[in-house]
Every structure is written in C-alpha cells, then in structure tokens.
C-alpha cells in the first residue's frame, strides 16, 4: 500500500468514499450499521441510502447472512472441521499422535518444552464404533496401541472431543494434536505474550520455564491458555492442565502442533474442543460457553486508578487522595501495595503506619474512591505472623510436600484443603467486611512443573501434584477472593491465570515490566548497566492484544513500568496516552511515581500533569462506550481491545502496536523513543482524527503527526462514541459535594459522531439508542433514552459542512451564540469550524428525531 502523509480532506467527498472502501466488521454490541433509518425530511436522498454496510466481503457475509452450518466429518483416517463448504481444520492420520517411553519416571516432569518421547505413534487404522456422537471411532496406532476418539456437537459451531488410550500396549507419556491449517493464516490466543500478539512461526510454552537469558530468569508465561484461534474462523481449545507446548506453524507452515506431557495421567486421555464461526472475532464466545463467562469488574473499576509501590503511612494516603481531588484528576479508585500489614499473612493494619485505618477508608470512600489491597496466599515466618503460622501448621494448611519455593514468605497455603480454603476466606472477610473493595493478587507461581526436564515435587491435600497444580492452583487462589466480592461488583487484579480463570479474575496485569520503551528481549545498556529486557511499553501493548483473544478481556499494565523505575518523562507520558484508551487504566511505578510529584529523575512537570489530567478524564468519559462492549462479552465474546489482524483477517497483516477499542475507535500508541510521527496501516473505511477532525481514507499506509502528549486516535466514519460529561470525576459513589460522581447523577449523555452516508447506530448497555445518517442535503440523528441516561443528550458531529438550520421533531431548534450559551441553555445548537466543522446539538429528555440541513 502507498505511504502518504495525512492530509486535510474535504469531508463530504471522502465520507462518500467510505461506502466503497468499507468499514467495520459486523459487531455483536454497541456500534452497528443499521438497515433501517426512520428519519424524515431529506427525501432527496432517502431512497438511495444504503440499507446495509458496504464493507469488506467478510463483513457483508457476517452481517447479512446467518452463521454458516458447521460440521465435523470423519473419513479416510481424517477428522475435518467444516464450515459451509470450507474445510477449516484437518486432522489426518498423523494429526493424532501418542508418545511412547520405555518406562514412567517419577522424577521426570514430562515437560515437552524440554523433553520428547522415544517414539511418536500415528494412526494406521480406524473402526467406527457406531455411537450416537458425531464421531465415535477406535483408532489404531500400529498393532498393539488403540485409543477412542469421540466428537460430540455441544452447540452450533462448538464440538467437545476426547482422545482416550485403551489399556495395554507400550507405555505412553505424551499426547499430541497436529491439525493441518492454512499456510497463510494468522493465529491468536494462547495467553499473555510480550513479543507478538500473532503467533505464526513461534513455539509457545504453556507454563513458566527457566530462562537465564532474560533479566527475570523465566519466560514470562504468567497466563498460558491452551486455546488458539485461526484467522479463517476456527478455534482449538485443549482442556488439559499438564505441561504443554504449542508449535504454531514453526516446524511446518501448515501445521499447529499441541503437545502435552501427560506422563502418569495419560490413561485419562486428552479433552479438547473445536470451534468455528463466520468471523474469527466470534470464536471466543464458544470458548466462554465451554469454560465460563468472564467476570466483569465493578463499573467503578473502569475509572482511573492511582497507587504507590510503597506507602509511607496513613498520612501519605490521605494526602494523596486530597491531592487527587484538589488537582482535578479524574480517579475512581486507589490501591495500597505492600507493606501495610504487620507481616505478610496477617490480616491487620500495621498500627505504626496506619493508626486508624477505618477512618482512612471512610475518607477514601467519601471522596468518591474505592480501595483495593495487595495480597498473597502466604503466611510469613515473621514474629508478627507467628500466631497465624502456628495455626496453619497445626491444622496442616500447608502442602504435605513442598518443592522449590520462590517467594520471600515461604510456601503458599494448600487451598485444595477445604478447611484451609475456608480458614483463609474467614480472614479475607476481615478486610472486605470493613470497606476493602478489591485486591491485587500477586505471586503464587512457586508451583512449577520443574526445572528443565526434572520435577520440583509438590504434593497437595487432594492428592494432586505440581503436574497439574502449576496451572490449577491459580483457580483456587483467585476463587478464594472472588467469592467474597460484592455481587454488585468488585475488583481482582491478578498477575497469573489459566484457562477458565476468567470466571474469577477481573483484570490481568503483566507483572513487573521495564520502566522504559524497550521491546521484549531487547538488550538494554543503561548508564553502564546491561540487561536483556522483559519489556517496557511495547510489551504492555502486545500483552493486552494477546490476552483478549485468549479469554481475558480486561488488562492493565503499570502505567510507567516497574523494573528500573522511575520512567523518564517521555516513557510515562506515552504510557498513559496508551492506557487511557484501554478498558482499565492503573497508574503507578516501581518507584512510587505519581503524576503530580516532579523529581529530577522522572522529569515530570506542569505540562505532563496537564496531559495526564486530559487523558485520565478521557478514559473516564469513555465509560458508557467501553461498558457497553463489556456487557456483551458473555454472549458475543469479542475482545474489547481487538488486534487488527483478527478484526480484518482478509488483510493478512498482524501489527502488535495498533488495535480497535470496541468497534469504532482505532488506537495507535507511540512506542518508539523520540518519535514525533506515527506510521500505521489504516483498516478499510474512512477514519476521523480524534484531535484534528481530518478524515483519512482507509486501506492505506499513513504517517500522522504524534508529538509528545498526542495519542494517534481515530473514530470510524459512521461511528458513534457515547461519553460522560466533561466534568465527571469518578464512577464511584461519593458524599463530597464538590466531587462529580456518575453514581450520584448519570447526567446528560454526551456523544461524538463521525457522520457517514450509511445509517448506523449505537445501542448502549442501558437501552439508549443513538442513530446517524449523513444524506446529500441533511444530517439525520435519532435519540431514544434508556434506563440510565434519561436527562437528555449533547452530541458533537465532526467533519461536517456548515449547517443552515436544525429541527427537532419537526420543530426548529434554537441556534445559540456560543458554547457557553449552549451550556447554559436547556437545548439548542451551534456550529463551529473546529475539528473540520463541528455541529453540537443539545437535547432535553425523551426520544427525539433531529434533522440538520446542510448550507447550500
């Protein structure tokens, strides 16, 4: 595609061009192209208005046609997943393999990242067992090894399968699935990764592995998920907690190899699931149907968070919350990191640091903030924790056998023991019953499958070992806290996770990233210190894009980074530009930097503080937009942050540094040090620059200006973005009269519109509906209130030619002299030259139909 500088373009011709060039992939919530337009008064063009989205072939298919039928077929020693007439996946004779070893070795981890069987067996024959399942066959792997393959349709587009070896024959310790895939498609999912969101050509371990080459000493696989989606619209999920590795078209460009070291548990077989959908963004809904819908954070948790790595004392916390409000920094919550307890594992407040914690919590809540605490499932060997530890030891609340301990506080509790689980929850209530609203859950990754090929043996009360608990411990750990959060919503920020854990975890954070702009595994030389980076801002961005298609839709990195803190001014600013356009914005660093404290090391100043204020409030104002898409996750499944390669599979490009937020916002963070421009490939359609009103044609490469303090952000032409009022301070309840809370008053609904000739609408989570269509002679808008936003609307329409007049429900609407006059009026309109020509229309409560006539 040609590269060009972004140029100012006359709005109407380019908006018309959007019809031919395309737009959004069909969505399951919020922003959609409409096939109806009930506006009236523009008869000159209403008969020619498009009734469906004229976008990519894929979009037309998914929007105008029902889901194509999906089947599984077995013939000639091959299992096929078929959508319509297209074969999406093939498992030929060597698509199912069993790994033979001479004998089981209790000291072996059977980790396929390091180890391999003595021999792989492939299918040589099959016998149809004639069961009721879609596929039910006995597979022969040579003369004396057999396994039963069963595939059952769970729902349209979703199949549950198992491969179970039969008794007898040689010793088996590994199982492998090797489907044939398209040699050109891309692959998403598999959990959290820092190097690339798309996995072609990579080998991904499904567990933490020792890696001495990187500064952290391990591979950073905190959230491995054995679920992969192909961009042709299929998914494969292997529901097995053993050590595993996915070779993603690395050994062969038309194969995905999923290898599991099942070791002594091989006789139980391998459970897996096959999914298909018209669009690859929709595959995740099948995964949620299998493993459980994601737990949404409380609505207030989508407002900005601020924290320090170490709080000095209660006075500092109270000074921070007062400063947040005095400086007009939109914020909904804080958390207190360690230390705050007398010792780790003691459910108290250190009386020296926090002499009256209950009064402090009351002040936090009064100012419209919610509170979370850092926590871990350990009881420290510290005199202050002696009573807790003695009780845990006396009741066998620790694992019977402990492997390699990597935390500073000893072994984690054995949460497979129901009594230990209940005991720990009883203590958690000592916080939740006194006003703590959520937790940041750290560590608990001591339980690993081993070092290289050797076990680090753990045994648990329920008879399990590290072979499976290296994954499953996280489920128990997180569930212990999740069950105690209020039904109205709480907050769990977790460092680790696994498949199914999205039912417990509100938000994933990527652990300790570098406080710089280094890429993952980049060699860094910093003032004489050399290290191989875990990764800074680029790693955070990539991780967020890898997690959404893996079943964890909410992600929040430490804004500014953690390792080698403090970040410099450029890093901090670029980082909060990015996190403001993510579902969860949490701001803090490893050196306890906050936006208002200026030091020689962090280089922050009044200008950076002003930028932070702007982006924090933008993040807060976007709540109705983001929450609408969040509400559809359980049924629609589409990630909130959408990799462009997954949203537009037909393009065959897979950037890890740009994404869609919801359906209408294109975000292109600047992650290169010193950059003041940003090159990106715009998706099909046309896109309006959020800050300037320039309209850019899509399906081409552009270079846009991006000075420090300016995030490249674009609104899809035809797109609508509902927002909260500009003065909003918090999403949490408040008793302070000078704190503007959404809970106290949702207020007037604001919205930004990039008008387009296709009729489009946005259906908010509360039932409010906004519609737009730009005709040849007039702009049509429609508003229907929902259950929450009942006080009217204030709509800005950008990149619009001058307006001659506006009618509402066939009655002329008064034109106001200025924005100030419009703010003071109950309703009215103004037109300015800002942002390519802006019409602002303010309407009172109720349903309305608006006709804005274009000036001749």
- Whether 409 and 546 map to the same domain: the answer is yes
Give the pLDDT confidence score for residue 2 in this predicted structure.
32
- C-alpha dist (Å) from residue 757 to 24, 263, 737, 751, 829: 14, 60, 44, 18, 22
CA atoms lying within 13 Å on the CB side of residue 163 = 26
pLDDT digits (tens, 9 = 90+) for 236-253: 999 999 999 999 999 999
Contact 302, 623 (CB under 8 A): yes
Q: Is the peptide bond before 692 cis (omega within 30 degrees of 0)?
A: no
Question: Long-range contacts: 386-395, Cβ < 8 Å, 24+?
Answer: 388/345, 388/346, 389/345, 391/423, 392/420, 392/423, 395/419, 395/420, 395/423
Q: For 462-513, what is each residue's pLDDT tens digit?
A: 999 999 999 999 999 999 999 999 877 889 999 999 999 999 999 999 999 9
Q: Verify that 12 and 119 share a domain, yes or no.
A: no
Q: Residue 397 pLDDT > 90, yes or no?
A: yes
Specify whether 304 is located in the same domain as 406: yes
In whole numbers, what is the pLDDT of the chain averaged over residues?
93
Report yes or no on 658 lying in a domain: no
User: What span, in angstroms and rounded, lies between the C-alpha atoms of 547 and 754?
Assistant: 29
Q: Centre a 10 Å sphere on the Cβ of residue 271 and count the other Cβ atoms it contains.
A: 15
Residues 60 and 83 both lie in one domain: no
**Residue pLDDT, tens place only, 802-852:** 999 999 999 999 999 999 999 999 999 999 999 999 999 999 999 999 999
Helices and strands: H and E segment counts in the chain: 16, 47
First to last CA, the chain: 36
Predicted pLDDT at 6: 35
Does residue 206 lie within any of the structural domains? no
Return the SS3 of 779: strand
* Same domain flag for 580 and 676: no
Q: What is the pLDDT of residue 807?
A: 98
| 630 found inside a domain | yes
**399, part of any domain:** yes
Task: Show the domain range for 115.
Answer: 70-185+232-277
Cα-based distances in Å from 182 to 86, 152, 396, 558, 734? 11, 24, 52, 37, 55
Residues 637 and 691 in one domain: no
- Taking the C-alpha atoms of 682, 685, 691 and 694 in order, what is their torsion angle to the nearest 10 degrees? 100
Both tokens of 100, joined, read 């033979």
Averaged pLDDT, 648-668: 97
What pLDDT was estimated at residue 716?
98
* Same domain membership, residue 560 and residue 437: yes
Can you read off the two tokens belonging to residue 829? Answer: 């309109």
CA distances from 119 to 25, 173, 190, 579 (A): 45, 10, 27, 48
Please tell me whether residues 680 and 738 are part of one structural domain: yes
Cα 163–Cα 233–Cα 84 angle in degrees, nearest 5: 85
DSSP, collapsed to helix, strand or coil, labels residue 734 as coil
Q: Percentage of the chain surpassing pLDDT 90? A: 90
Angle between helices 314-326 and 357-366 (to 10 degrees): 10
Distance CA 173, CA 65 (A): 45
In this predicted model, what pLDDT tens digit does every residue of 670-717 receive, in sequence order? 999 999 999 999 999 999 999 999 999 999 999 999 999 999 999 999
| Residue finishing a domain among 586, 617, 645 | 645
Q: Predicted confidence band at 729 (pLDDT cuts at 50, 70, 90)? A: very high
Mean pLDDT, residues 620-639 taken together: 97
**pLDDT tens, position by position, 6-18:** 332 333 333 443 3
Region 79-95 average pLDDT:
97
Cis-peptide into 568, omega within 30 deg: no
* Closest to 586 measured CA to CA, from 466, 678, 493: 493
User: What was the pLDDT predicted at 66?
Assistant: 85
Whether residue 626 is found in the same domain as residue 672:
no
* 333-336 vs 305-308, strand pairing mode: parallel
Whether 611 is covered by a domain: the verdict is yes
Cα–Cα dist 151/126, whole Å = 14
Tell me the per-residue pLDDT of 758-787, one tens digit each, with 9 for 90 and over: 999 999 999 999 999 999 999 999 999 999
Q: What CA–CA distance (Å, rounded) separates 820 from 377?
A: 55
Give the list of residues 6+ apart from residue 739 with CB closer than 8 angstroms, or none.
325, 367, 368, 729, 730
Q: Is residue 502 part of a domain?
A: yes
Q: Between residues 66 and 638, which one has the greater pLDDT?
A: 638
Question: Residues 185-200: pLDDT tens digits?
Answer: 999 999 999 999 999 9
Domain of 420, CATH number, reads 3.20.20.80
In this structure, is residue 226 part of a structural domain?
A: no
C-beta neighbour count of 607 within 10 angstroms: 12
Asked whether residue 465 falls in the same domain as residue 568, the answer is: yes
pLDDT at residue 53, as a whole number: 29
pLDDT at 162 over 70: yes
Q: Which two tokens stand for residue 71?
A: 């089947």
Q: Are residues 716 and 626 in the same domain?
A: no
561 and 511 in contact (C-beta within 8 Å)? no
Within 10 Å of residue 816's Cβ, how many Cβ atoms?
18
pLDDT at 629 > cutoff 70: yes
In a domain, 223, yes or no: no
We report the CATH number of the domain holding residue 42 as 2.60.40.1180
Number of domains within the chain: 3
Say whether both 154 and 50 belong to one domain: no
pLDDT tens per residue across span 104-143: 999 999 999 999 999 999 999 999 998 899 999 999 999 8
């Amino acid at each position: 595609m040609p590269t060009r500088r972004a140029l100012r373009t006359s709005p109407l011709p380019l908006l018309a061009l959007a019809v031919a060039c395309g737009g959004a992939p069909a969505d399951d919530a919020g922003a959609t192209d409409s096939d109806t337009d009930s506006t009236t008064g523009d008869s000159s063009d209403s008969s020619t208005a498009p009734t469906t989205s004229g976008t990519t072939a894929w979009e037309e298919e998914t929007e105008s046609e029902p889901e194509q039928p999906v089947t599984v077929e077995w013939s000639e020693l091959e299992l096929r997943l078929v959508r319509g007439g297209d074969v999406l996946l093939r498992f030929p004779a060597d698509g199912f393999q069993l790994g033979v070893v001479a004998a089981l070795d209790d000291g072996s981890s059977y980790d396929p990242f390091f180890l391999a069987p003595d021999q792989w067996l492939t299918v040589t024959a099959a016998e149809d067992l004639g069961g009721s399942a879609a596929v039910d066959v006995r597979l022969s792997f040579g003369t004396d090894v057999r396994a039963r393959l069963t595939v059952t349709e769970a729902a349209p587009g979703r199949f549950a399968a198992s491969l179970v070896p039969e008794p007898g024959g040689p010793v088996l310790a590994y199982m492998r699935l090797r489907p044939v895939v398209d040699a050109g498609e891309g692959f998403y999912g598999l959990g959290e990764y820092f190097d690339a969101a798309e996995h072609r050509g990579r080998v991904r371990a499904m567990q933490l592995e020792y890696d001495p080459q990187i500064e952290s000493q391990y591979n950073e696989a905190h959230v491995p998920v054995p679920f992969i989606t192909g961009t042709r619209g299929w998914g494969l999920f292997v529901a097995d907690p053993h050590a595993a590795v996915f070779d993603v078209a690395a050994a062969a460009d038309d194969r995905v190899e999923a290898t599991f070291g099942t070791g002594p548990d091989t006789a139980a077989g391998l459970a897996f699931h096959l999914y298909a959908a018209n669009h690859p963004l929709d595959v995740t809904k099948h995964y949620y149907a299998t493993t459980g819908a994601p737990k949404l954070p409380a609505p207030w948790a989508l407002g900005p968070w601020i924290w320090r790595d170490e709080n000095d004392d209660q006075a500092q916390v109270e000074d921070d919350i007062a400063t947040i409000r005095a400086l007009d920094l939109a914020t909904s919550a804080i958390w207190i990191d360690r230390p705050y307890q007398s010792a780790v594992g003691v459910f108290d407040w250190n009386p020296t640091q926090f002499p009256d914690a209950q009064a402090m919590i009351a002040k936090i809540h009064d100012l419209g903030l919610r509170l979370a605490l850092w926590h871990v499932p350990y009881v420290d060997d510290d005199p202050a924790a002696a009573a807790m530890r003695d009780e845990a030891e006396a009741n066998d609340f620790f694992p019977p056998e402990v492997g390699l301990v990597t935390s500073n506080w000893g072994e984690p509790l054995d949460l497979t023991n129901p009594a230990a689980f209940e005991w720990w929850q009883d203590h958690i209530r000592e916080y939740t019953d006194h006003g703590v609203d959520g937790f940041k859950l750290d560590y608990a990754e001591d339980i690993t499958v081993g070092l290289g090929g050797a076990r680090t043996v753990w045994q648990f009360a329920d008879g399990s070992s590290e072979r499976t608990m290296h994954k499953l411990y996280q489920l128990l750990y997180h569930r212990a806290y999740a069950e105690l959060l209020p039904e109205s919503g709480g907050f769990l920020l977790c460092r680790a996770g696994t498949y199914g854990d999205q039912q417990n975890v509100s938000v994933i954070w990527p652990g300790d990233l570098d406080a710089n702009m280094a890429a993952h595994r980049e060699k860094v030389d910093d003032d004489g210190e050399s290290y191989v980076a875990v990764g800074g801002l680029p790693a955070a961005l990539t991780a967020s894009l890898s997690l959404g298609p893996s079943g964890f839709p909410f992600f929040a990195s430490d804004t500014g980074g953690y390792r080698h803190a403090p970040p410099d001014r450029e890093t901090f600013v670029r980082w909060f530009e990015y996190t403001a356009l993510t579902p969860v914005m949490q701001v803090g660093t490893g050196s306890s930097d906050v936006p208002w404290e200026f030091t020689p090391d962090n280089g922050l100043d009044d200008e950076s503080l002003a930028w932070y204020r702007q982006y924090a409030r933008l993040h807060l104002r976007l709540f109705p937009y983001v929450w609408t898409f969040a509400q559809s996750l359980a049924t629609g499944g589409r990630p909130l942050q959408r990799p462009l390669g997954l949203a537009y599979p037909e393009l065959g490009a897979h950037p890890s540094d740009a994404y869609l937020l919801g359906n209408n916002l294109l975000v292109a963070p600047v992650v290169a040090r010193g950059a003041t421009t940003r090159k990106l490939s715009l998706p099909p359609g046309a896109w309006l620059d959020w800050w300037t009103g320039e309209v850019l044609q899509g399906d081409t490469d552009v270079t846009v200006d991006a000075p420090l303090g300016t995030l490249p952000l674009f609104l899809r032409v035809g797109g609508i973005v509902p927002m909260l009022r500009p003065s909003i301070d918090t999403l949490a309840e408040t008793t302070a009269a000078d704190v503007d809370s959404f809970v106290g008053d949702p207020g007037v609904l604001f919205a930004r519109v990039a008008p387009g000739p296709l009729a489009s609408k946005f259906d908010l989570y509360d039932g409010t509906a906004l519609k737009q269509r730009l005709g040849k002679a007039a702009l049509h808008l429609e508003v229907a209130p929902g259950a929450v936003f009942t006080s009217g609307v204030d709509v800005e329409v950008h990149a619009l030619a001058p307006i001659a007049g506006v009618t509402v429900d066939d009655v002329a609407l008064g034109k106001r002299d200025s924005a100030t006059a419009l703010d003071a009026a109950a309703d009215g309109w103004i037109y300015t030259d800002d942002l390519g020509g802006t019409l602002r229309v303010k309407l009172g409560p109720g349903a309305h139909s608006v006709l804005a006539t274009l000036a001749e």
